[in-house]
Amino acid sequence: MRGPLSIITCNEKMKAIIDSIKQMADSNSSVMLIGETGTGKEIFAEYIHRISNRSQNSFIRIGLSAMPSDLMASELFGHEQGSFTSASRLKKGLFEVAHHGSIFLDDIDDVPLDIQAKLLRVLESREIMRVGGTKAIEVDIRLISASKVDLKELIRRNMFREDLFYRINVVPIEIPPLRERRDDIPLLTEHFLKLFSPDRHIDLSPEALVALINYSWPGNVRELRNIIQRVSLFCGKRIDLQDLPPELSKISPIVQIVDACKMCFLDGKYDFNQIVSCVESNLIKNALKKSGGNQSEAAKTLGLSLSTFRDKMRKHLFSAACKEK
Ligand X SMILES: Nc1ncnc2c1ncn2[C@@H]1O[C@H](COP(=O)(O)OP(=O)(O)O)[C@@H](O)[C@H]1O
Task: Determine the interface stretch with Mg ion among 37-45, 128-136, 248-256, 262-270 (rule: CB under 5 A).
Answer: 37-45
Other CB atoms within 10 A of residue 34 CB: 19
CB-nearest residue to ligand X: 40
Examine residue 8 and tell whether it contacts ligand X (CB under 6 A).
yes
Partner in contact with 295, chosen from Mg ion, ligand X, none, beta carbon below 5 to 8 Å by kind:
none
Residue 252 is which amino acid? S
Examine residue 42 and tell whether it contacts Mg ion (CB under 5 A).
yes
CA 185, 187, 188, 193 torsion-angle sign: positive
Which spans in the chain are helix H?
A: 12-24, 41-51, 69-77, 94-97, 113-125, 151-156, 162-168, 184-196, 206-214, 220-234, 246-249, 253-267, 272-290, 295-302, 306-316
Q: How far is CA 208 from CA 195, 264, 267, 293, 308, in A?
A: 19, 18, 21, 21, 29
Count of residues engaged in binding ligand X, rule: CB under 6 A: 15
Q: What is the rounded CA–CA span in Å between residue 298 and residue 268?
A: 31
Examine residue 145 and tell whether it contacts ligand X (CB under 6 A).
no
Examine residue 43 and tell whether it contacts ligand X (CB under 6 A).
yes
Partner in contact with 142, chosen from ligand X, Mg ion, none, beta carbon below 5 to 8 Å by kind:
none
Examine residue 110 and tell whether it contacts Mg ion (CB under 5 A).
no
C-beta of 39 vs 256, nearer to ligand X? 39
Minimum Å gap between C-beta 41 and Mg ion is 5
The secondary element (H helix, E strand) that includes residue 33 is: strand 31-34
Q: What is the rounded CA–CA span in Å between residue 85 and residue 131?
A: 12
Q: What is the rounded CA–CA span in Å between residue 36 and residue 107?
A: 11
Minimum Å gap between C-beta 108 and Mg ion is 11
Of residues 165 through 224, those in contact with ligand X by CB under 6 A are 221-222
Examine residue 9 and tell whether it contacts ligand X (CB under 6 A).
yes
Examine residue 39 and tell whether it contacts ligand X (CB under 6 A).
yes
Examine residue 161 and tell whether it contacts ligand X (CB under 6 A).
no
C-beta of 45 vs 76, nearer to Mg ion? 45
Minimum Å gap between C-beta 3 and ligand X is 12
Give the footprint of ligand X on this chain (CB under 6 A).
Answer: 6-9, 35, 37-43, 221-222, 225
Q: Which residues bind Mg ion (CB under 5 A)?
A: 42
